[in-house]
Structure 1
């Protein structure tokens, strides 16, 4: 039997280590099988993107992740080197991107009174920019979608106005125009019903989808946000009004009445939304797109621990719906 010299042994060992480190990190958790693209928004776990991806893939068993912020920056502000690093981390954990969670149209509508609902806390690290800069935000969002190999960009319906009626037609036209711009580049624009914006509830989402008739605009259905806007029957009552073929993304979180009857965020398995029922309804309509955990509730002490608790509730609801 031949023997290695110390130098030969170290050379072979080093080569083996390099090969091993280049292989994808396999998940210790069983990889989820679902009719949905089960995902989590990365910065709901951690600003450390590698760690967030490790938790999503290794601990949660996910194959999908939604990008919003990392390393103390909003995804919109990543430089070329950070984009390449993020792509390498995604490859390392075999994760695909559901969408770019852009802050597009989280701004005041020009010519309208300044909204009382706009808040820097809602921007998730992105600087609030003016209406005039929104075309640049749109172009950047489309570019990021292409770089991260996803076909979707998320947007909003401008900070909420007490009386949107005088501006509603113009806002609808802007949403349609942005969606057409996306469509020309093979990207789907998904509008999130956001409690601080003009489309906040299921009923308002149905109105907006019916008013803006283009295949390039879809809905990011967020029943938790609807509850936060006091639509306590978001599911199943308001849900029935929404054109189901326009839903191409879904955010999972929950809300409940707290002290003084104030609506507060809650873990996914506690609150007004029956998530097992919502998942069954999505499954019955043949939905195959993203259901993405957007924790928001921070009662677990840290963002990561809160997300782990919410994921446990979300996973239980998926299992109850026979969706994993």
Structure 2
């Protein structure tokens, strides 16, 4: 039986690294997404800070699943050079933490302007970034986030077809698809499945419009887990809670634990082993 690997956007627990690791350790999770530590984004950490994180992880037996960068979460009309510089920083961090994965996005479009007006520039930038990743042995995992070119399944498919590379893959996010009126399993999964190398566990409801624990919303997380098990997926399931609206009175760590445990319940239900 294949084992999936659980990881988590640990900066939703706390900004302090040790607090992040304490909660993950309590939940039996040994991987984390490196997005934010000590109030700083991963790409703003200096070399001393990166080495300090690495030492703490090694001491406590943790590993980084991906560099959760904000690359591509910018207006497509903004200059491209800073994005290339950011990718260089992310690649350096990925090599340091021995992960092949860097999470990226597909650029915001100017409000009120048609998607087609910026398609060529979006695809050009992502193609260039893919080529850079390829030269460095890195896999870019594209999150289908809202308010970006790749918010829908069809636009994501457009990106993957254009880049046509094993170095540009999908970080499949069912909750984000729900938020964009795309049915994750009926519409998105059949198109995106050949490109999925990573999965974000985020569920959502449209009414009220909010993120919820896995299995509570319209993301068909249980169906997704069954489908992944059938294809013997052994990659990462990354818990990205975003439960502030769903659990407004809870602490940050309580929200993350709620999200992690909701996923564990579904994994047990479908008899999927995890590590």
What TM-score do the two structures reach when normalised by structure 1? 0.78
For the 8 Å contact 2:127–2:162, the answer to whether it is kept is no
1:293 to 239, 243, 250: 239
RMSD: 1.7
- Return the index of the structure with the highest Cα Rg: 1
Aligned position for 1:88: 55
Aligned position for 1:47: 15
For the 8 Å contact 1:160–1:196, the answer to whether it is kept is yes
What TM-score do the two structures reach when normalised by structure 2? 0.92
Distance 2:11 2:2 in 1: 23
Aligned residues between the structures: 268
Distance 2:141 2:209 in 1: 26
Structure 1 moving runs of 4+ over 4 Å = none
Aligned position for 2:127: 176
Distance 2:155 2:120 in 1: 14
1:228 to 176, 179, 187: 179
Q: Deviations over 1:170-229 (max 9, x none)?
A: 311211111110111111111111112110123332232223212211111111111111
Within the alignment, does 1:238 sit opposite 2:195 as a pair? no
Aligned position for 1:207: 158
Distance 2:117 2:137 in 1: 32
The residue matched to 2:151 in structure 1 has which SS?
Answer: coil
Distance 1:78 1:34 in 2: 35
Shift of 1:34: 6.3
Distance 1:206 1:308 in 2: 33
- List aligned pairs for 1:276-287, cutoff 5 A: 276-287=222-233
Distance 1:241 1:189 in 2: 18
- List aligned pairs for 1:256-275, cutoff 5 A: 256-258=205-207, 262-275=208-221
Distance 1:269 1:282 in 2: 16
1:69 to 25, 36, 50: 36
Distance 2:81 2:268 in 1: 46
Distance 2:79 2:44 in 1: 16
